[in-house]
Amino acid sequence: MSTVALGAKRLASVIGDGPWKTPAFESLAAAVAAAITDGRLPVGARLPSERELAVAVGVSRTTTGRAYAHLREQEFIVTRRGSGSIVQLPSVPGGRIDHLLSPSGADETEIDLTCTAPVAAPEILDAYERALSRLGAYLPGTGYYPSGLPVLRELIAERYTSRGAPTDPDQILITSGAFGAAAIAVRALLDVEPHEVRNRGAARSTSRVLIESPTYPNAIATLEGAGASLVTYPLEFGANGHHWDVDALEQLIRQTRPRSAYLIPDFHNPTGSLLPEDQRPQLADALSRHRVVPVFDESLIDLGLEEDSPPTPMASLVPDSVTVGSVSKICWGGLRIGWMRIPRHRVDHFASSRLGLDLGAPVLEQLVTVELMGSHEAIVAEARSRLRAARDSLAAQVREWLPDWKLVIPPGGMALWAELPEARSGVLSIAARNHGLGLVAGPNFAPAGGLDRWIRLPYTVPDAELDQVGPRLAAAWNDAKSMAGRGPLGRARIVA
């Protein structure tokens, strides 16, 4: 992780500026510790000096000195000569939770809330049957289409163009899901071409990638597996939920000079937040001016659950950006077809990088996707209606059974992101197994650790299962509050 200097004013905006309960040093230390645990202060960040913080929060330097000492004793910071006080997480038995979870081995009675994946759309079976009737025309060939079937690329390009991002079919690369698209994009962007190194100079790290916290766990694993050095931007949190502070994000970019970014501005996973229209040009300008090549994940772009206009595609605002998407979140998780929209001048490099991973997505599934594209609007409308009702049902259950949990209803997406009264989502995920509930703990969504006060609650399961979530969750929470520590830590698995 890259070290980021946190100014005193910025820290005060995160933890507040008082008044502080007596003894003030304990209250101040507790506020900083809570911000670290929640992921609002990223691991590796350098805190301001004791003197600077004292001025910003209205206490004496003695108070901030004792607060920092208290945080060192609790292992929330480490102070090094010449480096200042650096944020860290206290050590826990077994190590930090993996970003990918071990297979649950769930039985038929367990309600699986470990992934956001819909059941198959009603149109799936007919689409497969029609696709089979078209498959014969492709059998005389090799079956390899590394760029994707031309007919599918044309349809996806038309969708981008109709949304306000003019796109040629040659800019579209079909992949095995949005996850596969992101993996190809990361590999290509970190595999810098020689002329780019000369043009950019040695000051910019070619391995630094900006990423939000919380974020999609598979993105964390993909970036780390590609050798990326993650630069974490903690999303802001207020009365209206999680949101972006573009000025703070740009300051982070200015300090760390990342080469690329992985961002989810559209119904963000896991928070469901949507980057407002008035902030989109501001974010685009910041990324462009600092020559950051972003990967925008639009996997959930069609899942706005309010009656608002579709968001402006970031591809229309940042010419040198990559956008990834898929049909998995709308139609069916088993339909592993995704895509990426690539700037024209990067197409050859991305295509070459893709060949180092695989030789293309399955032809039959691409033909199925072509068939489904013809009913796209109807499929999306049905999915939105179903998810809207499920979201409201689950939110009502949480408020009835767990009134001390905090919820902000997201404008879209497939899950609630709930704040717990205590930092115990790790033990909650363990306790939930005894009540027939599979959960993913908050730290799995944290690139730099923390977020143990948060839990993701997908509302994608069938209604009969969804109706049982509230009481099972309440029983699991009662158990979790009495469990010692943070529970055993598991092996890794994919989190959808």
CATH number of the CATH domain containing 472? 3.90.1150.10
**Statement to judge: residues 276 and 383 lie in one domain:** no
Distance CA 178, CA 92 (A): 33
Eight-class DSSP state of 299: T
CATH number of the CATH domain containing 347? 3.40.640.10
The answer to the question of residue 26 being in a domain is yes
**Statement to judge: residues 337 and 426 lie in one domain:** no
277: helix, strand or coil: helix
Exposure on the CB side of residue 111, measured as CA atoms within 13 A: 24
The Cα angle at residue 303 between residues 300 and 305, in degrees rounded to 5: 145
Q: What is the structure's pLDDT at 484?
A: 66
The answer to the question of residue 138 being in a domain is no
The answer to the question of residue 106 being in a domain is no
The answer to the question of residue 417 being in a domain is yes
The answer to the question of residue 104 being in a domain is no
pTM above 0.85, yes or no: yes
The answer to the question of residue 275 being in a domain is yes
CA proximity to 126, closest of 419, 378, 384, 409: 378
Where b means 16+ CB within 10 Å and e means fewer, 316-332 reads bbbeebbbbbbbbbbbb
Distance CA 340, CA 388 (A): 28
**Statement to judge: residues 155 and 258 lie in one domain:** yes
Q: What is the structure's pLDDT at 108?
A: 58
User: Residue 51: in which H helix or E strand, if any?
Assistant: helix 50-57
Domain boundary among 342, 359, 374: 374
**Statement to judge: residues 259 and 406 lie in one domain:** no
Low-confidence stretches of the chain (pLDDT < 50) are: 1, 93-106, 194-195, 197-204, 486-493
The answer to the question of residue 3 being in a domain is no
325: helix, strand or coil: strand
Q: What is the structure's pLDDT at 92?
A: 57
One-letter amino acid at 298 equals E
Residue 182 tokens, joined: 């992101």
Q: What is the structure's pLDDT at 494?
A: 52
Number of domains in the chain: 3
Domain boundary among 374, 409, 426: 374
Where b means 16+ CB within 10 Å and e means fewer, 196-231 reads eeeeeeeebebbbbbbbbbbbbbbbbbbeebebbbb
CA proximity to 304, closest of 412, 454, 191: 412
Looking at the DSSP bridge assignments, the partners of residue 78 are 86
List, for residues 129-148, the tens digit of each pLDDT value. Answer: 999 999 989 888 888 888 99
CATH number of the CATH domain containing 67? 1.10.10.10
**Statement to judge: residues 362 and 419 lie in one domain:** no
Per DSSP bridges, beta strands 293-297 and 322-326 are parallel
**Statement to judge: residues 339 and 402 lie in one domain:** no
Q: What is the structure's pLDDT at 287?
A: 97
**Statement to judge: residues 324 and 209 lie in one domain:** yes
Residue 307 and residue 391 in contact, taking contact as beta carbons nearer than 8 Å: no
324: helix, strand or coil: strand
Residue 311: domain span:
143-374
Q: What is the structure's pLDDT at 247?
A: 95
**Statement to judge: residues 325 and 207 lie in one domain:** yes
**Statement to judge: residues 294 and 165 lie in one domain:** yes
The answer to the question of residue 491 being in a domain is no
Domain boundary among 355, 374, 393: 374
**Statement to judge: residues 423 and 361 lie in one domain:** no
**Statement to judge: residues 256 and 234 lie in one domain:** yes
**Statement to judge: residues 162 and 42 lie in one domain:** no
